[in-house]
A and B are shown apart, each in its own frame.
Chain A
Amino acid sequence: MVKNVAMRILRSEILRVVGRRLFQSIPVLLGVSLIVFTLLNILPGGTAGAILGVNATPQLVHALNVRLGLNHPFFIRYFHWLWQALHGNLGNSLLNNVPVARTLGERLPPSLEIGLAAFCEALIFAIPTAIAVARRPRGLLDRLNIAISMFGFSCPAFLLGILAIIVFSVKLHWLPATGYTPISDGLGPNIKSIILPSATIAFGLFCGYTRILRADLVDQMRGEDYIMTARAKGLSQWHILIRHAFRNALFNMITVVVLNIGTLVGGQVLIEQIFAIPGMGLLLISSINNRDVVTVQAEVTIIACAIVAANLLADVLYMVLDPRIRHGRIAS
């Protein structure tokens, strides 16, 4: 029995696809790391110059370059970095010689918490809203939602963040304006400190998700035979929407959710700057400013890995949702 289940899992299409995609993502990740390495190395303005400041003599710059190992040829440095990274060693910061992995370990939790909270908030509000709105296309709720979404699309997140600070912190004194309280200092203060930043990100996501999900729900409700069957059986509109159309309307939203992860990371840089959150975004800005190539390289590589992983997750979700893909009848 146990053996049968194990065999079924091993033979499952999902695992095969995951394996294939993991294999395919290797060249993408290599390419990304090479592009970043190239970008960071060919652009003018060297690390040594940034560390030594404006008064650096060429001799000092050269000496520091030798000490930091920046005098070796480009490809030797790249393969050295790659070899070390594959062994889990991301190197030491060029600025203060602290292992990059340790810094990242400190900076990752706030960013991850805010990003995840934003996703959850966006989905929790977007899904019911989209279903409610899709029930009567072009109705009052739909028009209201279009107006709200247009506001959300047109208001950049960093502007929205400042507006939120003005309203909820400066005028109403409900929430702290800036800063991040780690969870070790208590759950309450921690949650309070992430509400504004995560809600700012979530609002933009919410607007996109509701519109996409609504459009697909309406599409399903209009054209599909299974909807007609369900209606003929006498099921209520809500029941059809939630139990039948919803599952089939999810595909585009999943695609966008996954695509968003990359841009979300970019947006989070701005949000962390506004709310003074010591996360990956602020680290990225400071390390770029200091020409701390090692830290930037490590950070961007991790972000790229996360994006590749998210794409993989989307493929698995497609398969879970659609048995036709699961059984390989549609080329995925």
Chain B
Amino acid sequence: MAVSLPEVPLVAPAGNAAVVDVFAVSWWRGSRLRENLELYLPLTGLVLMVLACFVGPLIFPIAGPNSGSIVYANVPPFSPGHILGTDPLGNDLLSRALYGGRISFEVGFGAQGIGFFLGSSLGMLAGLKGGIVDTVIMRIMDMFLAFPGLIIAITIAVYLGPSELHVIWAISFFTVPGMARLARAHTLRFRDRDFVVSAKLCGRTDRQILLRHLAPNVIPNVLTFISLGIGIAIVAEAGLSFLGFGVPPPAPSWGNMISQGQSYISEEPYQVLVPGAFLFFTVMCLNLLADAVRARISGA
């Protein structure tokens, strides 16, 4: 499935995704160093990035993202005191990139969390009930898929006004349909299994079947796509902020840092390259992780 962004098809590969018991996959393969590296290297990179953004500024003495002085404007990278240089207002770029990363991760996890919760609930409901409920839910999801996610997100973000919470809502809005499709596809595969039928025969209500019997089987399969989804959400946030519809400046975000730096690309390209590198590294870790998880599951 294409993972390029923002041109990515925001549909999770629903139909042909294999149903496997995620818990039965061996996540550590004794002596096979390469396979383990493929999984745990990006995971380590990602964890380090999250720690650097959320814990780093608390441990190390880093200037605040907006505490710079104009006297130190446009200091090039690798200068004493400002390892990655400063922006035109004299703010430390490393500090801005780390604080901006907080927003990226919050939006990525938040939006994907909401999308995951709503999407998989709707998808499982549609899959379990079938009939008219299924048709109505899935046709509505199809309509949302029929027009570009970024444009819905821009519309919602603009009308609600720029703020981090609104960005999360806007992005989660277009992650729901993909998740719903995926959850429905997996639900359909379990719906007629013996354990669900016997639960029905025992007189369990739909709600109990959904929560106790279907969810534990469906959720792990949906979760394997969440790494990809977080990457998509982080790029979407950066895109929104780049267009000025995301987190309002002076608060830093990778997107609005890139947007501010664009005016200076002829003299100081590092203004773009620093936040760009953070964004690139994070999304690459998420994509590599998604690839490794998928390979591990399909090879299990």
* Given known contacts A31-B139, A44-B159, A256 and B2 CB-to-CB distance under 8 angstroms: yes
Give the docked Cα–Cα distance between A150 and B228 (Å).
Answer: 13
Shortest distance in angstroms between B40's beta carbon and chain A's nearest beta carbon? 17
Report the Cα distance A157→B280, complex, angstroms: 11
* Shortest Cβ gap from B98 to chain A (Å): 18
Asked if A300 meets B4 with Cβ closer than 8 Å, knowing A31-B139, A158-B242, A269-B154, the reply is no
The closest CB in chain A to the CB of B174 belongs to A266
B272 lies within 8 A of chain A by Cβ:
yes
- Residues in A with CB closer than 8 Å to B262 are 162, 274
Complex CA–CA separation, A31 to B135 (angstroms): 14
Q: Are B11 and A166 in contact (CB under 8 A)?
A: no
B127 in contact (CB, < 8 A): no
A125 to chain B, nearest CB (A): 14
Contact with B along A150-185 (1 / 0, CB 8 A): 111111111100110110001000000000000000
Bitwise, B130-157 to A at CB < 8 A (1) or not (0) is 0000000001101111111111101110
Question: At the interface with chain B, which of A58-66, A223-231, A242-250, A283-291?
Answer: A283-291
- Bound-state CA distance A263–B235 (Å) is 13
Our pick among B5, B146, B151 for the contact of A157 (Cβ within 8 Å) is: B5
What residues of B have a CB within 8 angstroms of the CB of A40 in the complex? Answer: 155, 159
Q: How far is the CA of A114 from the CA of B249 in the complex (A)?
A: 31
A127 within 8 A of B: no
Q: Is A132 engaged at the interface, CB distance under 8 Å to the other chain?
A: no
| Known pairs A44-B160, A156-B5, A156-B235; A150 contacts B147 (CB<8 A) | no
B266, CB-defined interface residue at 8 Å: yes
A159 and B280 within 8 A (CB): yes
Q: Is B279 an interface residue (CB 8 A)?
A: yes
The 8 A CB mask of A303-314 against B (1 = contact, 0 = none) is 110011000000
B149: which of A263, A300, A304 is its contact (CB, 8 Å)?
A: A263
Which of A14-22, A99-107, A201-209, A324-332 is found at the contact surface with chain B? A201-209
A156 to B235, CA, bound (A): 7
- Of all chain B residues, the one with the shortest Cβ separation from A202 is B7
Q: Does A270 contact B (CB under 8 A)?
A: yes
Q: Are the C-beta atoms of B148 and A262 separated by less than 8 Å?
A: yes
Q: Which residues of A contact B145 (CB under 8 A)?
A: 262
Contacts of A263 in B (CB 8 A): 6-10, 148-150
Nearest chain A CB to B267's CB is how many angstroms away?
9
Q: What separation, in Å, do the CA atoms of A172 and B254 have in the docked complex?
A: 27
Which of A208, A274, A284: most chain B CB closer than 10 A? A208
Contact of A266 among B151, B272, B280 (CB under 8 A): B151
* Chain B residue with Cβ nearest A273: B243
A32 within 8 A of B: yes
8 A Cβ contacts from A196-224 to B: 201, 204-205, 207-209, 211-212
- Which residues of chain A from 1 to 59 have any CB-CB distance to chain B below 8 Å in the complex? 27-28, 31-32, 35-36, 39-40, 43-45
- Chain B residues with Cβ below 8 Å from A270 are 6, 150, 239, 242-243
Chain B residues 161-181 with CB under 8 Å of chain A are 161
User: How far is the CB of A290 from the nearest CB of chain B, in Å?
Assistant: 10
Q: Which of A170, A265, A266, A304 has the most CB of B within 10 A?
A: A266
Q: Which one, B26-34, B115-123, B207-215, B281-289, is touching chain A?
A: B281-289
Task: With CB as the reference atom, state the residue of chain A lying closest to B3.
Answer: A153
Choice from B5, B139, B258 contacting A204 with Cβ under 8 Å: B5
- How many residues does chain A have at the interface if contact means C-beta atoms less than 8 Å apart? 57
How distant is the Cα of A161 from the Cα of B67 in the complex, in angstroms? 30
Residue of B nearest to A307 (CB): B146
- Please pick, from A27, A150, A266, the residue contacting B6 in the complex, using a CB distance under 8 A: A266
CB of B59 closer than 8 Å to a CB of A: no
Q: By DSSP majority rule, is chain B's interface helix, strand, loop, or mixed?
A: helix
Query: Which residues of chain A have C-beta atoms less than 8 A from B276's C-beta?
Result: 159, 162-163
Let me know if A91 is at the binding interface, CB within 8 A.
Answer: no
A308 and B146 within 8 A (CB): yes
In the complex, whether B269 has a CB less than 8 A from a CB of chain A is yes
Evaluate contact between B146 and A284: CB separation under 8 angstroms: no
Contact A201 B7 (CB under 8 A): yes
Residue numbers in A under 8 Å from B143 (CB-CB): 28, 31-32, 35
Is the CB of A109 closer than 8 A to any CB of chain B? Answer: no
| In contact, A264 and B7 (Cβ under 8 angstroms) | yes
Closest to A215 in B: B1
Residues on B with beta carbons closer than 8 Å to the beta carbon of A205: 2, 4, 7
Could you tell me the distance between the alpha carbons of A176 and B216 in the complex, rounded to whole angstroms?
Answer: 55
Q: Does A321 make an interface contact (CB < 8 A)? A: no
23 residue pairs from A and B, CB less than 8 Å apart: A28-B143, A32-B143, A39-B156, A153-B2, A153-B283, A157-B4, A157-B7, A158-B242, A159-B276, A159-B279, A159-B280, A166-B269, A170-B265, A205-B2, A208-B2, A208-B3, A256-B9, A259-B9, A262-B147, A262-B148, A267-B5, A267-B150, A303-B147
Question: 3 shortest A-B CB distances, which residue pairs?
Answer: A208-B2, A266-B150, A43-B159
- Chain B residues with CB under 8 Å of chain A are 1-11, 139-140, 142-152, 154-156, 158-161, 231, 235, 238-239, 242-243, 258, 262, 265-266, 269, 272, 276, 279-280, 283-284, 287-288
Assuming A157-B4, A304-B146, what are 11 further A-B pairs, CB within 8 angstroms? Answer: A28-B142, A28-B146, A150-B284, A156-B5, A170-B266, A205-B2, A256-B2, A266-B6, A270-B239, A270-B243, A296-B155
